Chains A and B, each alone.
Chain A
Amino acid sequence: MTAREFEDRLDECLRSWVQDADSNASFTWPSDVIQAIETAPEPDRQERARQARTLLWLHRQVRQAPLPLPAAGFAQRVAEEFRRTSLEESRQVVPFSAGSSTRTSAKSWRARSVFWVAGSLATAVAVATLLILRPASRQQLLVQAPAPSQVQVAPPQRIVDPIRDAGGAYLALVRQVGDALGGVASVEPSDSDAKLTKGRDRAPRTELAVGPTAPRVGQVITESTGAVLDAGDDLRGAIRPVTDSAIGAFSFLWKEAPTGGKRSI
């Protein structure tokens, strides 16, 4: 048995010991390990015996150190998160009848093929046109183009970015929600969503993802009551926890304001 094989064998023995008995049980190396030690030439014999003893000692110490356990409310907290996640995902699922997925898939594939063929044809026609057109014709085209003064330039349209537009108002709304929940640690707005971290000091964190889509300052509907709120309303009276637990999950549905306009809080 080589040194590597010997170490592998020791590992194997320890692992089977872990599975078969608890760490306080006595342990005996199997006969093949003892034989591998005793039949080894003298310097190796000592080394292997020392290796077996040391490994067993280390393994025993690690096993005897009690495994850390999570805090008492951990399981409940995970269960709440499970519930909240399931709830969110169930909202996003679009139901369809049995067998429709195949049809949809085939339809989608056909549409993609048609799109690809049409795109290729259009590209080919454009290239051919460019090659066929003589310089004179191109010149003519340029001459026929309208004078710059005749071109009407539309005023630049403002691209609406819901989060950026809502700006402070949106964050204020988030903070207001946080205040209602009590103990806001941080507000982290990002490009796509905003997370609100709730937690008192070392209490378990509950993260509120405020809308999977970019929210606008507008209406908030509480899930539990179904009440519709206008922006600017005091959220404290309307937000209800989904569960009775103090660290329960809260869910909000964000909807755009019916007018689409910005409203301040």
Chain B
Amino acid sequence: MVFSLCYRMLGDRHEAEDVSQEVFLRALRSLHQWDCQRPMRPWLLTIAANRCRTALGRSQRRPIAREYLDEAPDPRASDDGAAELRSEIQIALGQLREDYRCVFVLFHEQGMSYEEMSVVTGRPIGTLKTWLHRARAQMLTYLRERGLAPEEPEEAHDCTGV
């Protein structure tokens, strides 16, 4: 959960590992600040989002997918099409503004509600909705330009005839 957010935000596996480790250490150190009445997940992801922001500010660069540098290939990515899509999604995420990227990942990947995302990002829900809307539009534009997203997706069977 923490690692995947860091990876999506930073785009580099090793940097994501470093930041994830830092997140866990910070969480350990400030465990006394955590309100045990509240769920831990948003609290932990808040630390992760902040650390990622700091790391991005430090490196002053956009994340680049460098999966081809990994020592061991991900066994789940055996299908070429899936691997390409995965890579393109990561690149498309890297093109997004930092705030948009964070909201997009929190919603689509982490499955967080707007209320939870508001806790994590410290932003009002209305702002998050706008960011998510723009993030989706930019993602789709990028994927369409790459020929990966159809202009009119065929999801009729899933949409019950819509």
B and A form one assembly: yes
Contacting B21 at CB < 8 Å: which of A52, A62, A81?
A81
A204 proximity list for chain B (CB < 8 A)? 17
Q: Is the CB of A71 within 8 A of B85?
A: no
Chain A binding surface, main DSSP class: helix
Taken together as a complex, chains A and B put the C-alpha atoms of A63 and B29 apart, in Å, by 33
Q: Is the CB of B109 within 8 A of A67?
A: yes
- Selected interface stretch from B45-53, B94-102, B153-161: B153-161
B18 proximity list for chain A (CB < 8 A)? 205
- Number of A-B pairs whose CB atoms are under 8 Å? 126
Q: Is the CB of B20 within 8 A of A74?
A: yes
Q: Which of A81-132 contact B (CB under 8 A)?
A: 81-82, 85-86, 89
- Selected interface stretch from A22-30, A134-142, A177-185: A22-30
Q: Which of B124-156 contact A (CB under 8 A)?
A: 129, 132-133, 136, 139-140, 143, 149-150, 152-156
A205 proximity list for chain B (CB < 8 A)? 18
Q: Which of B61-115 contact A (CB under 8 A)?
A: 71, 74, 76-77, 82, 85-86, 89-90, 107-109, 111-114
Taken together as a complex, chains A and B put the C-alpha atoms of A190 and B160 apart, in Å, by 64
Q: A37-B162, A68-B16 are in contact. Are A78 and B21 (CB under 8 A)?
A: yes
Number of A residues with CB within 8 Å of any CB on chain B: 49
A14 proximity list for chain B (CB < 8 A)? 108
Number of B residues with CB within 8 Å of any CB on chain A: 51
Taken together as a complex, chains A and B put the C-alpha atoms of A26 and B108 apart, in Å, by 17
Q: A52-B162, A53-B152 are in contact. Are A19 and B111 (CB under 8 A)?
A: yes
Taken together as a complex, chains A and B put the C-alpha atoms of A62 and B142 apart, in Å, by 14
Q: Is the CB of B162 within 8 A of A34?
A: yes
Q: A66-B77, A204-B17 are in contact. Are A54 and B89 (CB under 8 A)?
A: no
| Residue in A57, A60, A65 whose Cβ sees the most chain B Cβ within 10 Å | A65
Q: A34-B162, A66-B77 are in contact. Are A58 and B16 (CB under 8 A)?
A: no
Q: Is the CB of B109 within 8 A of A66?
A: no
Chain B binding surface, main DSSP class: helix
Contact with B along A33-58 (1 / 0, CB 8 A): 11001100000000001101111111
Task: Please give me the 10 A-B residue pairs with the lowest Cβ-Cβ distance, nearest first.
Answer: A57-B153, A18-B111, A65-B86, A68-B7, A62-B108, A66-B76, A67-B4, A53-B155, A70-B3, A53-B153
Q: A49-B159, A65-B90 are in contact. List 6 more A-B contacts (CB 8 A).
A: A49-B162, A58-B139, A61-B85, A65-B86, A66-B74, A66-B82
- Residues of chain B touching chain A, judged by Cβ–Cβ distance below 8 Å, are 3-4, 7-8, 13-14, 16-18, 20-21, 24-25, 28-29, 71, 74, 76-77, 82, 85-86, 89-90, 107-109, 111-114, 129, 132-133, 136, 139-140, 143, 149-150, 152-162
- Residues of chain A touching chain B, judged by Cβ–Cβ distance below 8 Å, are 4, 7-8, 11, 14-15, 18-19, 26-29, 33-34, 37-38, 49-50, 52-71, 74, 77-78, 81-82, 85-86, 89, 202, 204-205
A-B contact pairs, 10 of them (CB 8 A): A7-B133, A29-B160, A53-B159, A54-B153, A58-B149, A70-B16, A71-B17, A74-B20, A86-B28, A204-B17
